[in-house]
Structure 1
C-alpha cells in the first residue's frame, strides 16, 4: 500500500500554507462542466459562514482527460479562500481521492473537513455551513447528508445500503452513501490509518465504509438537511453495475469485521437531524424499465444455477417466475428482495472463489428490484415513495433474526461454484470449463 495519496508537490504547497481551520475537498474526474460551479458555491459558503478563519479548498483529481484541472486552476474563489488543485496518488477511484483530501486536512491540522461531489448542480453556499457547523459548534465527528431526491434516484442507497445500515447497526441514516459529508480530525485520523486503500474502499466503496466505521467505532454522528440534490444522475441499467459491486462488496466485507457489533443490535434509532426538511420536488430521473428487465433475464440465463444455490430452491422459484412479467407491470416482492440480499451476504462470507464475481452475479437481481420499485412507485408522490423505502428498511430489520440463523448455519448457500451454469444455447459447458464470468457490463463511470 502506498504510504500517502498526496503528491510531493501538493505536500510542499500545503506545508507552505501551514495550517487551516476548514478544508473543503472536491474529489473529481472529468468534471469540466460542473467543477467551477461547485468550487464557487463551496468557497462562497466558506467565506460567508466562517469569516476570519483559515480556509482551504482542495480539488483532488483522478487524472482527468478533459479540462477539469485547467478549469479548476482558473476558477476564482471567494475572498479569504486559498486553493490547491492536485492529482492524487494510488488506486484510481473516489476513495483514494478522499484519502488525499483527508491527509491534506490532517497535515494542515484542520478543525473540520467537508467533502462535496464534483457533479453537483444544486449545491449552494449553505451546504458548507450545514456540513461544517455541526462539527465546530456541536462536537459531531461525522455529518451525513439528507437530501430530497427523486424517487427513482439513489437506487443503491434506497434498496440496500439504507436497509442494511438500519438493520445491522441500528441507525436510521437515510443517505449513508450520499457523497457529501462533514468529518472531524479524530475521524479522519481513524480512516487514514486503515489498510484498505487497495480494495474497493479506494473506489465507490468509500462512502459506506466511512459511514460504517463512524457508527461502529462510536463516533458522534448526525444528519444535516441539504435540500434537493440535483446532479448527473445515472440510469441504473447502463451505469451503476461497477458502483453496486464496490458498494455492496464493501458492505458485505464490513459485516465480517463488525459481526460482534451487529449481533448485539436490537431495533434501530433515528439519527439527530440538523436543519429542517423542505417539500421541494426534485428533478425527475429517467429509468429504462425495459433495459432493467432485459438485464435481469440475461442474468437468469447466465447465473440461474448459481442463484439457486445461494438463495435456495423456494426463493429461486419466485425469481424465475419474474421472468415472464412485462416491464411496465413488473413486480418484485419486497420480502423476496430482503431474502436475496441476506442470502448473498451469507454466501459472501463463506465463498471460496472470487467474491467480487459473486457480487457481480447479484447485479441482475438488483436491476429487477429497481424495475419493480420504479413500476410500483411511478404514480406515487415523493413522500409516498419515501414511505415504501422506509417500509423496506423496516423489513430488513424485522427479518434480521432469520438472517442471523442462516449466517450461523450457512443453510441454503453455495460456498463455491461446483460447476458452471448451463449455457443459454443449451450446450453443456464441457470439461475443464472455467468458472462463470459476470455478464458484460459497461465500463466504470468515474465519480460517485
Structure 2
C-alpha cells in the first residue's frame, strides 16, 4: 500500500507558501517589466515591487531598506562578503570563522588564502562556539568575524549577541549567515550588533534562487569589492537584471513570517518536540546530536509571560530541528525503508558528495554515530497527523532492524 508522502527535510528547502506563489505570478506575465527600465510604466511597476519587497525584508530584521542588497541567495552573499572583503583590502587581513560553517563560507575562505589568513574555531559538544576561545583568536589585523547564526545540520544557535558586543568593542566587522535562523528566531540586527547578514528565500517559504545581504551602511569599515561586474544594480554591489518575481516572493515570504512569527514559532516548536518525544519513548537506540532539547523547558514555562520573539532567544537549538543517530544502523538503512518520508543525513548542498559531515566531525562524534545520523526538519505545512505517522513508521523500522542491539 502506498503511503502519503511526508516532507521532513525543511532545512534543505521549504515548500513555497501559497500566498507567495500568488504574489509572484503576475510578474511572470502582465507585470513582466525590467526594474531598471526607467522610461515606461512596465519598468516603474517592477521597480515599485522591488522596493516594496526590500521594505518587507528590512522589516523582518528591523533595519532600513537601504541596507538590503538582493542576491541569488546566501551562497552568493557569503562569497561576496568573504571574497569582497579580502580583495578590497590593501593588506593581508585576518578572518575568524568556525569549523561548522556552511561549505560556501569555508570554500570562500580557502579560495582567498593568499590574500587573507583565517582561523577556524572549534565548537563544544553542542556545536556552539566558546566566547573565551573566540576572544583569544583575535589578532591585531582581525577584520571580520564570520559566525553562522544557526547550524544547518544540528541546529545549534550561536551566542550572536555576545559576539556582536565583542566585535563592537574590538572594532571588528561582524558577519552572520542566517539562512537557517531567519523566520525561526527573532532577529534585530542592531540589537545583536550584526554588520552583515545573509539569507535565502527558499528556507522560509519563498522561491529558490533569490536571497539578500544586509549591509550596515553606518559602519564605514565595510568595503566589499563586487564579484559581479555589469550594470551596477543594487548600488554597485551586485550587477545583473533583478529577478523581479523571485524578489517579490522573497518580500512576501518575509512579510508572512514577520506577521505570523508567534503562530509559526509554536507550530514548529511543538511539532518538533512531539516527534522527538515519540522517537525517544520507543527505546529504539536513538541518541541526540547537538544541543540538548531539555533547554526548551524554560521556553514552555515562560510561554504566558513572554512573547514568542523573546522566547526564541532562549533557545540553543532551532525550533524545527532534530538531529539524531540511530544506533548501529546506517542512516541509509532507515531511508530505504521509509521512502515516503523525506529526511537527510546532512547538508543538502553536500549530500551528493561521499564525504563525512565536517559538522559532526567537529563535534567529535565517532564513525558509528556519524554514519547513523539523520537530520529532520519540520515545516510550515507539516501537520500533527503527519508527525504521528512519521513517528510510528520510523520507530517501527528501527525496532524491526534492531537499532539498539549490541
Q: Which has the higher contact order (CA 8 A, sep 6+)?
A: 2
Normalising by structure 2, we get a TM-score of 0.29
Structure whose residues are more often helix by fraction: 1
